[in-house]
Structure 1
Amino acid sequence: MASPVESIKETFESFAGIITEVTSLVNQGPAQHPGVYSVITEIHQAILPIAYSLLTLYFLLDFTSKSMNFAFFRMETIVSSLLKLVFAKFVMEHTLDFLKIIFSVSSSISSMVGSAGANASLYKIDFSAMESAYGDMGWFDQMLYEIKLTPFEWILQGIKVVIILVVFGRLFQLLIYTAAAPIPIATFINDGLIDKGKRFIFDYAAVCLQGIIIIIGCIVYVAIVANVSFGNFTGNGSDMAIWKALITALALLMVVIKSGSWARKIMGD
């Protein structure tokens, strides 16, 4: 049976390895799942006729509004509206390409961040003091010490599950946004509704950014824990050291759960 010190070693090393795993999952966008993506593309194409109808409706509403305000008495306004119609149609036809570009930029950033953070040499930990102190304990103290460390190990394992769930939830968001994209893109033709289309682009970018925030959160957590002396988990002050580790782990959990809202705030929501 593994000692608590060995369990802590394995738990931390596996958690440090999650940076590479999360980076890989974050970089799996809609196009990296061909079977699912083909279904999403079919839904996207099915929605396009509705989006074109909305585009026409929004254009007519904008045209009527400007006509009633005599804005179309100026030639530049007419030309501007026609160019806007052509632009909106072009964007709608190439929506999938534009979304792929946004995701590709995000994926490049997350790959760079994840590669730098996955460097194992950054998280070298000396467990010798912890092993020595544990070896000097009596049987009863060892059992008590194992009970103290168990919540820390469980929380780390639980956080790993939550991270995976949030990352896959993010993938679902990207897929749904991709499928329904033509509808908000149609608002680009109407001056009164164009902010909704821009908001959709920003929201899509925010979902992409969420993955980067999760990766950075994991790196920061592992770096903090790696710079804590694990020798403090034994001897005088061990209870306080364990509580600090628990609180730090819970702080990471908060970062993961709130990563979506933080991403939207960064994007200006």
Structure 2
Amino acid sequence: MRELLSGMVESNLSTMFTAVNQQTSEIAAQVGQTPQGWNSSIFSMIRNISDSVVIPIAGIIITLILCYELISMLTERNNLHDVDTWMFFKYFVKMWIAVYLVSHTFDIAMAVFDIGQSVVNSSSGIIRGNTAIDISSLSMQMQAAMATMAIGELVTLALETLVVSWCLKILSVVITVIMYGRMIEIYLYTSLAPIPFATMSNREWGHVGTNYFRGLFALAFQAFLMMVCVAIYAALIGSIRVSSDIHSALFGTMAYTVILCFSLLKTGSLSKQIFGSH
């Protein structure tokens, strides 16, 4: 009976910590990819939709804005009585910039995510080596602790490890949903990029494009905040000692994983708050 219960505990621990190690290691791999690198087929589909559906709408918006700009420019100078050729030169420069921004929307957006990827890759070399839980060391500590337990304590421990193992599996699924949800949000956000980019040349409507640009930086640097969350989680997990209290160590591991999930969920709103996006 003792061998059966001990084997059950070790099996639950191995499954539990393997799932956690796999998910925390995948966070660095997922957030360190650009939209075109994460899934090229989805990226191509989003870009084709944007080019064929959204850019014509952006072209209409640019036309309306430029007509409004021309009328405002001519009427604000004493109703055409004080017209300077420099005004038209400035108008054509503004028109060229507006068209250039819309026609190169995806290149500009991907440049922002390339900056975010560079920051994540620079930090991952420091963080990635400390995210994994040492399963062999914990297994040895558990075996030494279980050798002094009675049958009843082993039964309780086996049930606890079973419950914690299932909870951590659910949390690993939640982490996966957060990672994939962020990438889907990026694809949805970039699919309409030409429309806010079309407003950036106008003084009254320029706040739409400026806020959108801030949102791009917020999404790009959210990956860095996720990496910091993983580093904090690794430091918390590293402080757990099974030899002192097995039960506290088990539920402490689950609590730290819950904190990791909560922190990952908060990174989106925190990044938008930092960059002033709303």
Normalised-by-shorter TM-score class:
0.7 to 0.9
| Equivalence for 1:252 | 260
Which region of structure 1 is more displaced relative to structure 2, 190-199 or 72-81? 72-81
| Equivalence for 2:212 | 200
Please give the alpha-carbon distance, in whole angstroms, between the structure 2 residues aligned to 1:120 and 1:165: 23
Give the CA deviation at 1:197: 0.2
Please say if residues 92 and 186 of structure 1, whose CA atoms lie closer than 8 Å, have aligned partners that are also in contact.
yes
Which residue identity lines up with residue 113 of structure 1 in the other structure? Answer: S
TM-score, normalised to structure 2, is: 0.83
Please say if residues 17 and 118 of structure 1, whose CA atoms lie closer than 8 Å, have aligned partners that are also in contact.
no
Which region of structure 1 is more displaced relative to structure 2, 16-25 or 135-144? 16-25
One of 20, 44, 68 as aligned partner of 1:15: 20
Give the CA deviation at 1:198: 1.1
Q: Secondary structure at the match of 2:203?
A: coil
Q: How does 1:75-86 map to 2 (within 5 A)?
A: 75=84, 78-86=88-96
Which residue identity lines up with residue 20 of structure 2 in the other structure? Answer: F
One of 240, 265, 277 as aligned partner of 1:228: 240
Please say if residues 122 and 223 of structure 1, whose CA atoms lie closer than 8 Å, have aligned partners that are also in contact.
no
Write the deviation string for residues 206-257 of structure 1: whole angstroms up to 9, x where unpaired. 12222222232123212211122122333xxx44x54443332221121122
Give the CA deviation at 1:121: 9.0
Write the deviation string for residues 63-117 of structure 1: whole angstroms up to 9, x where unpaired. 3345444388575655444322211211111111111111111112222222322
Write the deviation string for residues 162-191 of structure 1: whole angstroms up to 9, x where unpaired. 121111111112222222111110101210
Please say if residues 186 and 219 of structure 2, whose CA atoms lie closer than 8 Å, have aligned partners that are also in contact.
yes
Q: Find runs of 4+ consecutive structure 1 residues off by over 6 angstroms.
A: none
Please say if residues 123 and 223 of structure 1, whose CA atoms lie closer than 8 Å, have aligned partners that are also in contact.
no
Unaligned 5+ runs, structure 2: none
Please give the alpha-carbon distance, in whole angstroms, between the structure 1 residues aligned to 2:161 and 2:25: 26
Which residue identity lines up with residue 34 of structure 1 in the other structure? Answer: S
Please give the alpha-carbon distance, in whole angstroms, between the structure 2 residues aligned to 1:124 and 1:143: 24
Please give the alpha-carbon distance, in whole angstroms, between the structure 1 residues aligned to 2:93 and 2:255: 56
One of 45, 49, 58 as aligned partner of 1:51: 58
| Equivalence for 1:180 | 192
Which region of structure 1 is more displaced relative to structure 2, 213-222 or 123-132? 123-132
Write the deviation string for residues 34-58 of structure 1: whole angstroms up to 9, x where unpaired. 3222222211111212211101111
| Equivalence for 2:124 | 114
Which region of structure 1 is more displaced relative to structure 2, 112-121 or 49-58? 112-121
2:49 is the counterpart of 1:40: no
Q: Classify 1:36/1:53 alpha carbon distance in 2 versus 1 (closer, same or farther; 3 Å).
A: same
- RMSD value over aligned CA atoms? 2.6
TM-score, normalised to structure 1, is: 0.86
Unaligned 5+ runs, structure 1: none
Q: How does 1:72-221 map to 2 (within 5 A)?
A: 73=82, 75=84, 78-119=88-129, 124=134, 126-127=137-138, 128-221=140-233
Please give the alpha-carbon distance, in whole angstroms, between the structure 1 residues aligned to 2:125 and 2:11: 27
> How many residues were matched structurally?
265
Please say if residues 50 and 192 of structure 2, whose CA atoms lie closer than 8 Å, have aligned partners that are also in contact.
yes
Give the CA deviation at 1:199: 0.9
State the identity as a percent.
20
Q: Secondary structure at the match of 1:119?
A: helix
Please give the alpha-carbon distance, in whole angstroms, between the structure 1 residues aligned to 2:64 and 2:41: 34
Which residue identity lines up with residue 205 of structure 1 in the other structure? Answer: F
Please say if residues 19 and 215 of structure 1, whose CA atoms lie closer than 8 Å, have aligned partners that are also in contact.
no
